[in-house]
Structures are given as structure tokens and as C-alpha cells.
């Protein structure tokens, strides 16, 4: 079998990243073998070395049963596509074989796994997710060398949420392109993909309740089911987002009577709406009695179609100056009571939507600026908040009202969606603010966009983060042109959230990414 030599930088990176790793004498007559544990991206947490070497057998047997059997089948297929020959099955594991086990003897951390390397390689995990992650570690190793030093790897993620967002509401991306990104995410042991399905340029799902809103370019139910199933095979959860009450352009194009119009518009307001990519045309008028039924129809139609734990309801960039929209406060007075305002109308709408999502056994999520400030009705604390801006869409780095600490104290769970440096846009105004990969690599996932951090006692309120791929200008790039910028950033986000960079120099990390390559097929 062919073996790809590691670069010197990647070898040094392996020693730096793997606790207890060391260089051992090469086996007799095997000077072609680099005698270290191959690198992985992200790096593994712990390696306790032994004495001796495992060599993957030609026609390697991947042994598994029960819920581990389909994972073994996928590993065998991945190894074969990577240039090896591997077959799954049951029975005993001889020298050079790999065994997958899912049982309670695995390490206790969520998504963790242990790999014992001796004459055979044995993977042990408590969950299917942990076993899937372990197979990707094996695939990265065997893509570099079929010989491994004896020892034990124990590995787990620092953050429970490690994701990618794709802005499909602005730019339609093919099913195959999405599946390729899912496969790469799994290779880097990530676990959540957010599909932003409705925005300025379209509504990307085939709606039965409101067929008039379905864009010409959309995903059929069969196509979305294919994406969900493919993601599940590799341990990736799909989180849909249908945003409201803002960013509803793709929906309101067929319902222009429901667009929210301001009582007054200044030049500053007009400029703001222009910079925010047509925000004004995407706001639904919550004072119109037909607004809520439309939103609720779509939630009841689409929430049950996605088997994951979450449904994202958006909430961002609706109204910052309620004085421009007195009809919202007037409607709140009529429907909620004379003491309530436009902010309360928004909070009540969000809470009703969250209730629908919870009725299907799922957890609602929203963007942090969708939580109105100054109202009497509190937003439901069960909603997970993606914190992307300290202020507003134009100046996200400034502002502490409803900041991360305050939201955590109120009982919210957070994900760090820091505009800088986790966002990358294909074009439009936001593209000028794209952070280079080096800045993302220097970032700390616990640092929010406004420069604040959660207190130590709030740390369990932070789930993790995602790489956010936006398409403010859908025509700025083809989907093929988007591949390299995403590939440059995805492994960085994976490393940050799994184990941190631990001071490893960025050029060395780039060499490690090259060493593990991309998943074959």
C-alpha cells in the first residue's frame, strides 16, 4: 500500500499537539515509515505511547456489530476510496484489523472516544457520534501512514457545538456542494450545519401551505431528506432557519401587502436599509392581522420535517427605532393591552413561535438582536441565542446592552456567532470586512464580538461557535469559487472548538491541514 510521507512541520506539530507523543525507532527494515503518531485536524487531546507498531493489513478487516456496524461499513468505504482495501464485518479481529465498539467502557465526555493501538486497533465510544469521530481520526492517520505506534489516544471536544452556516436564502447551492461541505465537516469532527433557508433572494423549501412563496430554485422534500440523511450518516445535525419578522424578502415578494412601512424615513434610515441589503423590503408588518398566521403556517409545516434538536427562527435586524413604526405600538395596545409597546409585540410574536417549535419537541434558537430591549414582555429563556452583534448590523463591535453576561444571567444559553472573525461573505458590503484565516486562527471562541467574555460561573452557558458563510451578493462568486475560502477556514474553526490552537504557529497548522488532506470521494 502507498504511504504518504509527513512534512517535517507536520511531524513537529504532531509532537506539540499530542500529549505524551514521542519519536520511536523505526521498525526493522521499515525506514520508509515516519515513527510518530500522524497528525490530525483537529489535534487529539491525549496520547500515551506504548512500545511497538501496528500495521494496517492489506485487505484490512473492520470488525463491528450492532449500532457500530454501519459506521464500520462507512469507514471501510472511506479507506477504500483513500487507496486502501478494507472490508467490514463481524468475527474476531486479527493483527492489522480495526475493531469499533460502542459501549459504556468508552470515556465519559460527550462525543469522546478512545483508540487503543496494539496488534489491532480498537475504538471504544459510548455514543455513535464518538465512534464516528474516531473513524475520521483513523482515516486521517491512514491517509498518511498505515503504520501507527502502539499506545492509547483519548479524545474529546472542548465545545459541544462546532458548526457551519450556509446562506441558502441568498445563494442557492446544489445538493452535491452541500454534501461535500458536510463530508469535510465530519472529517474535522464537526457536528452541526445550519441551513439559512429564507432571505433576500428566495425561500428555498417547497411549501405546501403557501406554494406561492417557493422560489424557482429550491430544495424538494426528497432533496432535503437526502441532505439530512447524508449528514446523519456522518454525525452531523441539520438545523434549519426560516427567519422572521425580518429578512422575509423571499416570502413577502408574494405578499407585498404585508411589508412593514415606516411612518417616517430619513436619509440615514434609507442608507441603513440599503447597506443591510434590502432590509426594509424584508420586514413583515406585525400590526397586520394576516402576519402571524403566515408565520405560524410555515412553522407548523416545516418544523416537523427536520429531525434535529433545533429550529432557528431568526429574529435579527427587524426594527431598531420603534418611533418610525407607531403602528406596531398601536397594535400592541389593541391586542396585548394599553401598557404594551411595539417591542412587546415582537417579543410576544417570538414567544408564540418558540411555543410552536417546542410543541414538536425541539429547541428554538434566534439571533441576539432579535431580543427587544425596553419592553415589558420577556423573551422565552428556553430559546438559545446566537450572539453576533453588540449593537446593530452596522456597528456590531460596539454595545453591551443585553450583552453575553447579561443574557447568561437572564437564563439564556448562547452560541458565539461573533461577526469578526467567524463571518465570511462572498460579496456585498460585508465582504470588505472578511477576516483572513490568520485572524480566525488567532481568535478565542470564548471572546464575543464586543470584546466581552462570560464569567467562569457562566461557562457552561456557551455551546460553541460556527463558521458563517454568507452570500450578500449571490452573483459575486460561483459555488466552485467558494470552495477554497471555505476550506481555508473550516479546519481552523474545527481546531479552535475541539482542542484550541495551544500556541501552535499558524504556518505549522497549515502544513498539518495539507498533511491530512481532504476526505476522498
Nearest Cα to 519, choosing from 184, 233, 185? 184
Check whether 19 has a pLDDT greater than 70. Answer: no
Strands in 229-309 per DSSP E: 237-244
pLDDT at 146 over 70: yes
More confident residue, 29 or 245: 245
Q: How many other β-carbons are positioned within 10 Å of the β-carbon of residue 327? A: 17
The sheet carrying 113-117 orders its strands as: 46-55, 147-155, 113-117, 121-125, 98-102, 60-63, 86-89
- Interior CA angle at 78 toward 512 and 504, to 5°? 15
Q: For 161-498, which CATH superfamily applies? A: Glycosidases (3.20.20.80)
Pick the range with the lowest mean pLDDT from 15-24, 230-239, 306-315, 447-456.
15-24
Q: What is the distance between the alpha carbons of residues 495 and 491, in angstroms, rounded to a whole number?
A: 6
**Once rounded to an integer, what is the mean pLDDT over residues 296-314?**
98
Return the percentage of the chain with pLDDT > 70, whole number.
Answer: 90
- Average pLDDT of the residues in 166-182: 98
Least confident of 228-232, 250-254, 318-322, 331-335: 318-322
Tell me: pLDDT of 28 over 90.
no
- pLDDT recorded at residue 401: 76
How does residue 273 score in pLDDT terms, banded at 50, 70 and 90?
Answer: low
Q: What is the pLDDT of residue 379?
A: 97
Nearby residues of 289 by Cβ (< 8 Å), 6 or more positions away: none
Write out pLDDT tens, residues 219-261: 999 999 999 999 999 999 999 999 999 999 999 999 999 999 9
Among 312, 281, 282, 316, CA closest to 389: 316
C-alpha cell at 484: 477554497
Q: Can you tell me which residue has the cell 478494507? A: 86
> Which residue from 155, 138, 153, 128 is spatially nearest to 236, judged by alpha carbons?
128
**pLDDT score of 195 more than 80:** yes
- In this prediction, residue 391 carries a pLDDT of 77
Rg of the chain, C-alpha, whole Å: 25
Burial of 111 (0-12, 13-18, 19+ CB in 10 A): buried
Q: Is the pLDDT of residue 439 over 90?
A: yes
The yes or no reply on domain 8-155 and CATH 3.20.20.70 is no
Every domain of the chain and the residues it spans: 8-155, 161-498
Does residue 270 carry a pLDDT above 80?
no
Sequence-distant (6+) residues with CB within 8 A of 82 are 139, 142, 143, 519, 520
What SS3 state is found at 69?
helix
Quick one: how many helices (H) and strands (E) in the chain?
Answer: 15, 18
Q: Is 351 helix (H, G, I), strand (E, B) or coil?
A: helix
Does pLDDT of 22 surpass 50? no
CB of 376 closer than 8 Å to CB of 339 = yes
Q: What is the pLDDT, as a whole number, of residue 277?
A: 56
Average of per-residue pLDDT values in the chain: 91
Is the predicted pLDDT of residue 98 greater than 70, yes or no? yes
Residue 108 has pLDDT above 60, yes or no: yes
Grid coordinates representing 483?
470552495
- Least reliable range by pLDDT among 109-118, 198-207, 400-409, 471-480: 400-409
pLDDT score of 24 more than 50: no
In order, the DSSP letters of 186-221 are: HHTT--EEEEE-EETTEE-B--SS-GGG--SS-B-H
The answer for residues whose C-beta is within 8 angstroms of residue 73's C-beta and 6 or more apart is: 62, 88
Q: What is the rounded CA–CA span in Å between residue 14 and residue 49?
A: 13
pLDDT for 267 beyond 80: no
Q: Is the pLDDT of residue 7 over 50?
A: no
Mean pLDDT of 119-141: 98
For 376-428, what is each residue's pLDDT tens digit? 999 999 999 999 999 766 688 887 778 999 999 999 999 999 999 999 999 99
If you average pLDDT over residues 352-369, what whole number do you get? 98
Amino acid at each position: 500500500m502507498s504511504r504518504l510521507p509527513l512534512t517535517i512541520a507536520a511531524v513537529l506539530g504532531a509532537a506539540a499537539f499530542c500529549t505524551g507523543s514521542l519519536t520511536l525507532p523505526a521498525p526493522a527494515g521499515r525506514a520508509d515509515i515516519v515513527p510518530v503518531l500522524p497528525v490530525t485536524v483537529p489535534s487529539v487531546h491525549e496520547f500515551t505511547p506504548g512500545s511497538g507498531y501496528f500495521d494496517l493489513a492489506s485487505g484490512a478487516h473492520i470488525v463491528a456489530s450492532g449500532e457500530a456496524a454501519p459506521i464500520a461499513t462507512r469507514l471501510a468505504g472511506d479507506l477504500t476510496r483513500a487507496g486502501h482495501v478494507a472490508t467490514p464485518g463481524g468475527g474476531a479481529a486479527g493483527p492489522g484489523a480495526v475493531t469499533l465498539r460502542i459501549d459504556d467502557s468508552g470515556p465519559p465526555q460527550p462525543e469522546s472516544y478512545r483508540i487503543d493501538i496494539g496488534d489491532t486497533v480498537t475504538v471504544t465510544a459510548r455514543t455513535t457520534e464518538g465512534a464516528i469521530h474516531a473513524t475520521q481520526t483513523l482515516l486521517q492517520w491512514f491517509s498518511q501512514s498505515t503504520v501507527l505506534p502502539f499506545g492509547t489516544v483519548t479524545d474529546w471536544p472542548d465545545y459541544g457545538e462546532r458548526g457551519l452556516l450556509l446562506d441558502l436564502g441568498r445563494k442557492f447551492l446544489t445538493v452535491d456542494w452541500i454534501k461535500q461541505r458536510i463530508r469535510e465537516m465530519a472529517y474535522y469532527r464537526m457536528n452541526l450545519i445550519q441551513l439559512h433557508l429564507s432571505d433576500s433572494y428566495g425561500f428555498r423549501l417547497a411549501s405546501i401551505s403557501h406554494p406561492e412563496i417557493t422560489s424557482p430554485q429550491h430544495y424538494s422534500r426528497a432533496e432535503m431528506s437526502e441532505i439530512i440523511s447524508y449528514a446523519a450518516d456522518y454525525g452531523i445535525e441539520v438545523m434549519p432557519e426560516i427567519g422572521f419578522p425580518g429578512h422575509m424578502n423571499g416570502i413577502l415578494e408574494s405578499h407585498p401587502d404585508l411589508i412593514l412601512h415606516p411612518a417616517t424615513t430619513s436619509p440615514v434610515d434609507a442608507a441603513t436599509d440599503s447597506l443591510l441589503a434590502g432590509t426594509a423590503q424584508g420586514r413583515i408588518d406585525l400590526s397586520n392581522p394576516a402576519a402571524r398566521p403566515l408565520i405560524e403556517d410555515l412553522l407548523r409545516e416545516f418544523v416537523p420535517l427536520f429531525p434535529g434538536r433545533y429550529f432557528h427562527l431568526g429574529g435579527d435586524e427587524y426594527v431598531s427605532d420603534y418611533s418610525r413604526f407607531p403602528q406596531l405600538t398601536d397594535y400592541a395596545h389593541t391586542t396585548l393591552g394599553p401598557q404594551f409597546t411595539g417591542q412587546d409585540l415582537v417579543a410576544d410574536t417570538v414567544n408564540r413561535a418558540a411555543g410552536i417549535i417546542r410543541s414538536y419537541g425541539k429547541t428554538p434558537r434566534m439571533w441576539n438582536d432579535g431580543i427587544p430591549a425596553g419592553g415589558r414582555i420577556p423573551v422565552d429563556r428556553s430559546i438559545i441565542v446566537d450572539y453576533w452583534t453588540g449593537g446593530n448590523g452596522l456597528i456590531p463591535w460596539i454595545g453591551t446592552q443585553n450583552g453575553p453576561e447579561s443574557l447568561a444571567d437572564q437564563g439564556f444559553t448562547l452560541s458565539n456567532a461573533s461577526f469578526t472573525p467567524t463571518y465570511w461573505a462572498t460579496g456585498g458590503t460585508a465582504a470588505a470586512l472578511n477576516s483572513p484565516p490568520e485572524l480566525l486562527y488567532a481568535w478565542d471562541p470564548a471572546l464575543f464580538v464586543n470584546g466581552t467574555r462570560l464569567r467562569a460561573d457562566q461557562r457552561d452557558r456557551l455551546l460553541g461557535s460556527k463558521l458563517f458563510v454568507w452570500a450578500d451578493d449571490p452573483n459575486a462568486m460561483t459555488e466552485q469559487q467558494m470552495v477554497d475560502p471555505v476550506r481555508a477556514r473550516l479546519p481552523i474553526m474545527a481546531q479552535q472548538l475541539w482542542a484550541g490552537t495551544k500556541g501552535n504557529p499558524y504556518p505549522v497548522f497549515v502544513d498539518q491541514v495539507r498533511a491530512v488532506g481532504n476526505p476522498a470521494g
